[in-house]
Amino acid sequence: MLCIAGTIPADDFPLMEGEVELRGEQLRIGSSFIAVNRGTPALLAAAVKAAETLGRPSPFAYLVGDTGTGKGSRRLYEHMTEVLPRSSFGTIAFHYLQPIIHWHNKIQAVLGKLTPRPRLIADAGFMYAAKMSGAASLYDLFTPDVGELAFLADEEAPHPFYTRGFILHEDNHVPDLIVRAYKHRNAARHLLVKGEKDYLADETGILATVEHPAEEAMEAIGGTGDTLTGLVSVLIDAGMNMREAAVAAMRANRLAGRYAQPTPATQIAEIIRHIPRALRQVLEGQVIR
Amino acid sequence: MDLSRFLKGNRTQDAAPGCDGQADRGILVFENTSEVIQAEKLLKKNGWDIRVMGPPPEIRQGCDLVIEFPLIEELQILRSLEAERLPPLRTVPVTSPLLQPVDIFQFKDYGRHLMVRAANMKLTVDRETGVIVNISGGGCPDVPFLAASMVGRTLADAPSPRDIGHTLCGYALQLAYEEVRRRCSA
């Protein structure tokens, strides 16, 4: 089963755990409903749609409200250190959490004792914490955008906010940044880099790229990276190997964007609606241009 | 006669000559980034020569900012902060180079829409209406909250990330927001 851990942008949202489903335009977990918008709700909505398309169980989520103070994230970290030892998730995706090194390390200490070891995916704040902790190589997949890749490539930056200028300037040279991230051991076993062209790479180099269909407006739309992480998480949990899962997710995310006929003002919920059709088409092997 | 240099907060250049060096600089360490953002706003408003920087490795926790200040003015600065109930956790002399926040902006021109990126944060605005249409990038938990608070509102009406954000991603969004405002008012 796929587990997703992240935050909801409301301080009064309680710590919740359970399977997540879509009810109309909203996510439901327990008795709580969540609007589908950028961040962990977008990842969850994409994952629910993808799981439905594949006939897989809905993802299980650990969620808490946090608007940036980190209070909710700390509660979630603490809770997960208590419950994960009794869990049996096949895949865990960590998402929008306050990047706090010592809490990351506590989570990682628990994960290291799980047998069998779940596949580990990190994006957003938790990916920042994993890199800062020097533990990147313990993860199976990071899903940075190009700005975050520059942060991974900068061995001195503790947060993307401090990425040095000479590295930021190289952001049109994704392959060079990938090499640098691996050289300093700041990349997971695989990197899925989201951008004008999407990349899958490991320490041996670039394994695959996807650049069609191309919708320039996608970069401006908040949540398109979250949906891609949701898609690849479901496909990995379904048993696909990393290359199959990443390429299918990159294609399906782009195709869902194409179907939404996006402008820079398009909201992520409009793209998520098209995920089932796009994913089905990709998995059926239809050529997309 | 201009006596403004004697006013509280306007004495930095006299009091701390050579402040480009580091020996005469200290850092204010706060409990969280939102306190740093509030303290920066207060100290800049009062005219202090301060900079928001990255903490040195020995006190780094994660999503951190510190305020670099002229050490010689420590007492007055602490008094200002305490008066506003914003006391730092501690003050530390600067002994090694501090991390410099990002100061590079990247732009994407979509015609009617303009996207500005600062570090990992992107803000897109409709040039004709001044409405913020999207916020993307970032990974700290205030980013979805900031997006929900700002998207759909005009640059003039939207809350500033500095006022409602708490993290380095929120701070990066503030830089993008200021740059968009500067470009849209030019």
What CATH code is carried by the domain that includes residue B16? 3.30.70
Write the CB contacts of A203 (distance below 8 Å, at least 6 apart in sequence): A182, A187, A189
Paired strand residues for A43: none
DSSP B23-88: TTEEEEE-SSHHHHHHHHHHHHHTT---EEEBPPGGG--BS--EEEEEGGGHHHHHHHHHHTT---
pLDDT grade for B166, boundaries at 50, 70 and 90 = confident
- A73, A162, A265 ranked by CB distance to B113: nearest: A265
- A96, A162, A220 ranked by CB distance to B144: nearest: A96
Same domain flag for B42 and B84:
yes
Residue A78 pLDDT exceeds 90: yes
pLDDT grade for B15, boundaries at 50, 70 and 90 = very low
Domain count, chain B: 2
Paired strand residues for A3: A60, A92
pLDDT of residue B61: 67
Q: Name the fold adopted by A2-142+220-283.
A: UDP-N-acetylmuramoyl-L-alanine:D-glutamate ligase (3.40.1190)
What percent of chain A is predicted at pLDDT more than 90? Answer: 89
Q: In this complex, is the C-beta atom of A219 within 8 Å of any C-beta atom belonging to chain B?
A: yes
Q: Which residue of A has its CA nearest to B103?
A: A165
pLDDT grade for A283, boundaries at 50, 70 and 90 = very high
- A160, A171, A265 ranked by CB distance to B133: nearest: A265
CA distance B48 to chain A (A): 23
Average confidence (pLDDT) over A230-241: 97
The C-alpha atoms of residue B94 and residue B22 are separated, in whole angstroms, by 6
CA distance A131 to chain B (A): 10
Cross-chain residue pair A147–B104, CB shorter than 8 Å: no
Same domain flag for B118 and B178:
yes
Residue A137 pLDDT exceeds 80: yes
SS (H, E, C) A233-271: HHHHHCCCCHHHHHHHHHHHHHHHHHHCCCCCCCCHHHH
Classify residue B164: in a domain, yes or no.
yes
Helix ranges restricted to H, chain A: 40-54, 71-83, 101-111, 124-132, 146-153, 165-168, 174-183, 224-237, 242-259, 268-272, 275-283
pLDDT grade for B4, boundaries at 50, 70 and 90 = very low
Residue to substitute from B104, B128, B145, interface A, most A β-carbons within 10 A: B145
The C-alpha atoms of residue A275 and residue A249 are separated, in whole angstroms, by 10
Are residues B159 and B150 in contact, defined by beta-carbon separation less than 8 angstroms? yes
Tokens in use for A269?
Answer: 């919920």
The C-alpha atoms of residue B86 and residue B63 are separated, in whole angstroms, by 19
Name the more confident of A207 and A25.
Answer: A207
Which of B153, B152, B177 is CA-nearest to residue B163? B177
pLDDT of residue B21: 44
Same domain flag for B113 and B57:
no
**Cα dihedral: A48, A51, A52, A58 (round 10):** -60
Tokens in use for A228?
Answer: 């891609």
pLDDT digits (tens, 9 = 90+) for B48-81: 889 888 888 777 766 678 899 888 788 888 888 9
| Mean pLDDT over each residue of chain B, to the nearest integer | 82
The C-alpha atoms of residue B24 and residue A230 are separated, in whole angstroms, by 49
Classify residue B37: in a domain, yes or no.
yes
ipTM: 0.93
Q: Show me where the domains of chain A are located.
A: 2-142+220-283
Q: In this complex, is the C-beta atom of A267 within 8 Å of any C-beta atom belonging to chain B?
A: yes
Which of B34, B138, B29 is CA-nearest to residue B78? B29
Cross-chain residue pair A156–B99, CB shorter than 8 Å: yes
Backbone angles phi, psi at A177, to 5 degrees: -65, -35
Domain that holds residue B178: 105-185
Cross-chain residue pair B141–A96, CB shorter than 8 Å: yes
Cross-chain residue pair B108–A219, CB shorter than 8 Å: yes
pLDDT of residue A282: 97
